[in-house]
Amino acid sequence: EAGVAQSPRYKIIEKRQSVAFWCNPISGHATLYWYQQILGQGPKLLIQFQNNGVVDDSQLPKDRFSAERLKGVDSTLKIQPAKLEDSAVYLCASSLELGLAASTDTQYFGPGTRLTVL
Partner 1 sequence: QKEVEQNSGPLSVPEGAIASLNCTYSDRGSQSFFWYRQYSGKSPELIMSIYSNGDKEDGRFTAQLNKASQYVSLLIRDSQPSDSATYLCAVIGGGADGLTFGKGTHLIIQP
Instruction: Give the interface segment with partner 1, choosing from 18-26, 64-72, 73-81, 109-117 (CB under 8 A).
Output: 109-117
Closest to 31 in 3D by CA, of 97, 91, 112, 77:
97
Q: Tell me which residues in 61-90 interact with partner 1 (CB under 8 A).
A: none
DSSP secondary-structure letter at 80? S
Residue 56 pairs with which residues in a beta bridge?
Answer: 48
For residue 16, the minimal CB distance to partner 1 (Å) is 28
- Work out whether 48 is an interface residue with partner 1 (CB under 8 A): yes
For residue 6, the minimal CB distance to partner 1 (Å) is 9
The residue ranges that bind partner 1 (CB under 8 A) are: 33, 35, 40-45, 48, 50, 55-56, 91, 98-100, 102-104, 106-112
